Amino acid sequence: MSAPTTTRADQSAMTHREIMEALSGLLLVLFVAMASSTIVSTALPKIIGDLNGSQTQYTWVVTATLLTATATTPIWGKLSDLYSKKLLVQASIVIFVLGSLIAGFTQNTEQLIAARAFQGLGMGGVQALVQVAIAAMIPPRERGRYNGYLGGVMALATVGGPLLGGLIVDTGWLGWRWCFFIGAPFAVIALLVLQKTLHLPVMRRDNVKIDWLGATLIAAGVSVILVWVSFVDGSFDWVSWQTFAMVGAGVLLLALAVWVESRVDEPVVPLSIVRQRTTALAILGSLAVGMAMFGGSVFLGQYFQIGRGYSPTEAGLLMIPMMIGILVSSTIGGRMITKSGKIKPYVVTGTIVLVIGFAGLSTIDHDTSLWYVGGAMALVGIGVGLSMQNLVLAVQNTVALKDIGAASSTIAFFRSLGGTIGVSVLGAVLARRVADSMTEQLTAMGVPAGSTSGTSALNLSSLPEAIQHVVRVAYGDATGHIFLISAAVAVIGVIAAVAMKPAKLRSTVDLGTTPPESPEKKEAALAAK
């Protein structure tokens, strides 16, 4: 049993100015971390083309970051329940900066994947700990208002990132390496701002151990399965000894992880929290939203550049409708949640709109009207803005302050896990459909399918004009199919949101340490007031 803790509710509450000062540093570093991913979304076709990488490597540059961020998110969250949240945020920033610098100096796709994996360690910490710090400062009832700022920063990062990435790639004297370098100085500024403004109580418990074994087993199990997803039906058949070996090993590792988590005193993913109805449903919803959102949006930049022939800068501009949808819905939704104290209606609405948006994108091909694509993207953005952050808020509303870190990071873990699986699965599907389409078109043209081997299909400038057209048609037509999968997965999020129990957001940071009062006692207390 956890030792009694002194909650923020027992101390003098932070003023709005103090909260905004602390938020300035937190939101700045969150912006930098998120922008580092969205910058890559438009720059990656150029990066992989220059490094002569494959579609599978394209996918793994993104997957590697998500995977390490996913695996370490629960660890960061658990550490935040035991040690200084401020110190941990700063440590994650340092790791992120080092990873960014290493990525900028890489010379091939293998090095880039490794650097992005290291960068993900810090990114996982930033994304989890910003949520934890906000939860430790602000009561759930008021958090909807500040979640609006959070959503605004996320939208700004997702809007500005692709545009900035495109501009950097299209600026000859900069080059794509600056997509990684540019975030480092801003992260250092955030580090200094937090040193001055972030002051949170340290609620450390004695004789506590971090479940490194559980975290390792989870990461290993997920990694093995994702590696299998990337290579099945390409390097080997669905029914083969490689499939049985890799899937069997992955399932065994994950089963061992569950066994370990059920027996250690301080599990990385607390099963007691996961078993709660709201948390379980929020996890299911986050998995679905994460898989649909990350898995779908990662390939939009590639669709516009490779499938439609636009420049990286133009691709960034074309992604604005989705980002505006996130900005508007998260900001307005956050304020309405604070005003009403209700969260379920907004989550349900968001997940439904998300499904509609992805269903719209599932019909696109290499010559679909850009107005239609933009409208469908805007719906996806609105759905994400109303659902993603509010699923975290729903869980934070049901747990005690001492478990905020573990609960928040658990939701972030499963959302990132969904994104990791989504990027890997959809990337594998896209690669297979593109390869089949190119083979079919080249055969019809009388060109041997293997005639372009040794040159990346993503390096269009090195290909003959006729082959470039084949590549564009293949990517443009195949992308719609992966959005159909995203729509189907997002339906699971709708089911989870509908099944959530309606609950009013509490107006205190902590649940309180006293047992629930009987209705008679509550009545007497009200009368006394």
Specify if 103 maps to a domain: yes
**Res 335: pLDDT:** 80
Specify if 529 maps to a domain: no
Specify if 440 maps to a domain: yes
Specify if 4 maps to a domain: no
Range(s) of the domain holding residue 218: 211-265
Distances (CA, A) of 41 to 35, 44, 131, 296: 10, 6, 24, 11
Distances (CA, A) of 297 to 36, 81, 144: 15, 33, 25
Same domain for 281 and 155, yes or no, is yes
Number of domains in the chain: 2
Specify if 527 maps to a domain: no
Cα–Cα distance for residue pair 314/273, rounded to 1 Å: 45
Same domain for 412 and 336, yes or no, is yes
**Res 329: pLDDT:** 86
Give me the numbers of helices (H) and strands (E) for the chain, helices first please. 19, 0
Single residue among 241, 265, 289 that ends a domain in this structure? 265
Tell me the per-residue pLDDT of 359-398, one tens digit each, with 9 for 90 and over: 999 998 888 899 999 999 999 989 888 887 788 777 777 7
Whether the Cβ atoms of residue 26 and residue 89 lie closer than 8 Å to each other:
yes
**Res 509: pLDDT:** 56
Specify if 165 maps to a domain: yes
Specify if 522 maps to a domain: no
Cα–Cα distance for residue pair 117/61, rounded to 1 Å: 8
User: Residue 307 has what DSSP assignment?
Assistant: I
Number of other CB atoms surrounding residue 499 within 10 Å: 15
Cα–Cα distance for residue pair 42/319, rounded to 1 Å: 10
Point out the least confidently predicted range of 249-253, 292-296, 322-326, 517-521. 517-521
Host H or E run for residue 309 = none
Alpha-carbon Rg for the chain in angstroms: 23
Single residue among 265, 282, 300 that ends a domain in this structure? 265
Cα–Cα distance for residue pair 459/22, rounded to 1 Å: 44
**Res 360: pLDDT:** 93
Distances (CA, A) of 332 to 258, 404, 426: 39, 25, 31
Residues in Cβ contact with 220 at an 8 Å cutoff, skipping those fewer than 6 apart: 253
Residue 290 pLDDT level (bands cut at 50, 70, 90): confident
Nearest to 366 by CA among 424, 456, 441: 441
Same domain for 283 and 253, yes or no, is no
- The angle at the Cα of 428, spanning 426 to 433, to the nearest 5 degrees, equals 95
Torsion angle in degrees (nearest 10) through CA of 520, 521, 522, 523: 50
Global model pTM greater than 0.75: no
Same domain for 436 and 387, yes or no, is yes
User: Residue 452 has what DSSP assignment?
Assistant: G
Residue 229 pLDDT level (bands cut at 50, 70, 90): confident
Instruction: Render 227-288 in DSSP notation, one character per residue.
Output: HHHHHBTTTB-SSSHHHHHHHHHHHHHHHHHHHHHTTSSS-SS-HHHHTSHHHHHHHHHHHH
Length of the chain: 529
Token pair in block for residue 381:
């953005």
Distances (CA, A) of 434 to 128, 173, 254, 276, 470: 36, 33, 32, 43, 10
Whether the Cβ atoms of residue 324 and residue 185 lie closer than 8 Å to each other:
no
> Tokens 């709109």 — which residue?
353
Same domain for 288 and 328, yes or no, is yes
Specify if 304 maps to a domain: yes
Q: What is the mean pLDDT of residues 251-255?
A: 91
Same domain for 226 and 311, yes or no, is no
**Residues linked to residue 83 through DSSP beta bridges, in sequence order:** none
Same domain for 133 and 253, yes or no, is no
Task: Specify the higher pLDDT residue, 487 or 136.
Answer: 487
User: Helix, strand, coil shares of the chain as percentages rounded to 5?
Assistant: 75, 0, 20
Cα–Cα distance for residue pair 404/502, rounded to 1 Å: 20
Same domain for 160 and 74, yes or no, is yes
Q: What is the mean pLDDT of residues 497-519?
A: 62
Domain of residue 439, CATH code: 1.20.1250.20
Instruction: Render 355-403 in DSSP notation, one character per residue.
Output: HHHHHHHTT--TT--HHHHHHHHHHHHHHHHHHHHHHHHHHHTTS-GGG
Same domain for 253 and 185, yes or no, is no
SS3 per residue for 85-109: HHHHHHHHHHHHHHHHHHHHCCCCH
Task: Specify the higher pLDDT residue, 440 or 94.
Answer: 94
Q: What is the mean pLDDT of residues 450-463?
A: 59
Same domain for 119 and 193, yes or no, is yes
Angle, in degrees to the nearest 10, between helices 404-445 and 370-396:
160
**Res 112: pLDDT:** 92
Same domain for 225 and 330, yes or no, is no
Torsion angle in degrees (nearest 10) through CA of 262, 389, 127, 418: 60
Host H or E run for residue 205 = none
**Res 461: pLDDT:** 65
The mean of the pLDDT values for the chain is 78
160 has a pLDDT exceeding 80? no
Same domain for 169 and 244, yes or no, is no
Whether the Cβ atoms of residue 55 and residue 434 lie closer than 8 Å to each other:
yes
**How far is it between the farthest Cα atoms of the chain?**
89
Tell me the per-residue pLDDT of 474-486, one tens digit each, with 9 for 90 and over: 888 888 888 888 8
